[in-house]
Structure 1
Amino acid sequence: MTQEFILETRGLTKQFRGFTAVDDVNLQVREGHIHALIGPNGAGKTTVFNLLTKFLPPTHGEILYRDKSITKMKANEIARLGLVRSFQISAVFAHMTALENVRVALQRPIGTSFHFWKSERTLDHLNDRAMDLLDQVGLAEYADVLTVEMPYGRKRALEVATTLAMEPTLMLLDEPTQGMGAEDVDRIVELIRQVAKGRTVLMVEHNLSVVSRLCDRITVLARGAVLAEGDYKTVSANPLVKEAYMGTEVEEEEASA
């Protein structure tokens, strides 16, 4: 595992009409790590994600990927570099099968995403790769199932498969276990662990059990600013973090450990 920073922010700031949502954030994500952004509601986590993936322009500051500034690049340009994001809500096509969803994602790198007039059979050459990705996330048996008919946890796994189809070097996962029961959470934790091999993952996650099991490093945000950083043991023992966010959740987590 290399110790290089694959992603950095320097003084990253976002203001909305005088309100500072992200306040001078300096983030350093090491290549090969699973890194979590955590914090209370309104801490600025999703805004940071939106800045990193160019859904919002920063007011001030700089974003670097592999030591090169991507601050002024567009969302599609950074996706081509390998920064690929999944969203807090499932973002797959409900009335397409799992296989068809992955095939759509596979078309993007080869530039045929919008060739709707072509026969579906022209996409058959993508089937093997799509099935391989479905197999990687444990969805091979769902290949021909309409997404709308799949359980919620399986839909999120499908979203991971479509993200992998974009060949990411850095995966940004926004609340990957939100709304899941314990069984689905365990499945997604193992899935993230598997797909993180050979990749870097930056994730926003509220479930502290997930964070403690998966993450090499954690950045805690509060009121848009970095409050603490370190591994789970260090962060969970920080009294400022307990006061601002974790509190009883940390105590319960430690008691169950």
Structure 2
Amino acid sequence: MSPEFVLETRGLTKEFRGFTAVDSVDLRVQQGHIHALIGPNGAGKTTVFNLLTKFLPPSRGEILYQGKAITGLQPNEIARLGLVRSFQISAVFGHMSVLENVRVALQSKLGNSFRFWQSERTLERLDQRARQMLDEVGLLGFADTLAIELPYGRKRALELATTLALEPTVLLLDEPTQGMGAEDVEMVIGLVRRAAAGRTVLMVEHNLGVVSQLCDRITVLARGAILAEGDYASVSANPQVREAYLGSEAAVLEEAHP
């Protein structure tokens, strides 16, 4: 594998009782890029994410990270290597403060336990770093707010902060703008740009306007297989891609990149 590719799959396949959800996918993610997986509903995008992070075992194929095979590793081992995922649905501790959520994520770097039993004084040692991370995602002013009280867009920002606390080398984002209004979408675009500094981002995203603004390279999936790859201009002009999206979604391809 060329050292420029931080993450690679070879013939990655997932079958469910005769149905092929992911079909011989050869994915190559370049170091330092923001790389998008796009495609119509049911194309296999989230299944690929589940395979990469070992929430699903592949039926066949190989996954390589920084040139080493990781196909047989467990999800926690994948995360410790620096391949860290955020989920499509915001996952935070609603009845803990925003600061406490980030502090718990920082604790996971200390070992295998969240160490809820430790004294408040010991945990407060992590507060300075937690506040720095909240400042990076625009949440410092919400440090003492219960996570459940945050607006949806701010909850996604908190989730990103807790994900970054795990110090990822490759950050996998599953639908980071799902369900957001235009104002929150613009906020998240800025957050992803900042998160991408010094690391690689692989994202599944339905909002093609977001993809056109953020991504260096795009892989289009259809029926579990790679349909096209390239920058946004090339994939949006591809007749097969346009056919796969059809109707209103094809129009969005034009609007996102006139």
Question: What TM-score comes out, normalization by structure 1 length?
Answer: 0.96
Q: Which amino acid aligns with 1:90?
A: S
Match of 1:254 in 2: 254
Q: Are the aligned partners of 1:236 and 1:246 in contact in 2 as well (CA < 8 Å)?
A: no
Q: Is the alpha carbon distance of 1:226 and 1:112 closer, same or farther for their aligned partners in structure 2, counting shifts above 3 Å? A: closer
Distance in 2 separating the partners of 1:48 and 1:110: 30
Figure out how many residues of one structure are paired with residues of the other and give that number.
Answer: 256
Say which SS state the counterpart of residue 20 (structure 1) adopts.
Answer: strand
Question: What amino acid is the match of 2:160?
Answer: V
User: Does the CA contact (< 8 Å) of 1:12 and 1:25 recur in 2?
Assistant: yes
Give CA-to-partner distance per residue, 1:50-104, whole Å, 9 cap, x none.
0000001100000000110000011111111100000000011111111000000
What residue number does 2:32 align with? 32
For residue 102 of structure 2, what is the aligned residue in structure 1?
102
Q: Which residue of 2 aligns with 1:198?
A: 198
The CA distance in 1 between the partners of 2:46 and 2:252, in whole Å, is 26
Q: Partners in 2 of 1:246 and 1:232 — Cα distance?
A: 17
What displacement does 1:113 show?
A: 3.3
The 5 A counterparts of 1:75-224 are 75-111=75-111, 113-224=113-224
1:42 aligned residue: 42
Taking the aligned partners of 2:118 and 2:187, their CA distance within structure 1 comes to: 37
SS in 1 for 2:167: coil
**Closer, same or farther: CA 204–255 of 1 in aligned 2, 3 Å:** closer
Deviation at 1:122, TM superposition (A): 1.5
Deviation by residue 1:135-163 (Cα, 9 ceiling, x = unmatched):
00010001000011000000000000001
| Aligned-CA RMSD value | 1.5
Q: For residue 120 of structure 1, what is the amino acid of its counterpart? A: E
Distance change (3 Å), C-alpha of 1:211 and 1:246: farther
TM-score (norm 2): 0.96
Supply the distance in 2 between the matched residues of 1:102 and 1:132 (Cα, whole angstroms): 10
Q: Give the drift of 1:111.
A: 1.6
1:247 Cα deviation after fit:
4.8
- Identical columns (%): 72
In structure 2, relative to structure 1, the CA distance for the partners of 1:173 and 1:255 (3 Å cut) is: closer
Q: Which 5+ residue runs of structure 2 have no aligned equivalent?
A: none
Name the amino acid aligned to 2:34.
I
Secondary structure of 1:191's counterpart equals helix
Q: Tell me the equivalent position of 1:232.
A: 232
Structure 1 gap segments, 5+ residues each: none
* Distance in 2 between residues matched to 1:49 and 1:252, nearest whole Å: 24
Residues 208 and 253, structure 2, Cα contact 8 Å, conserved in 1: yes
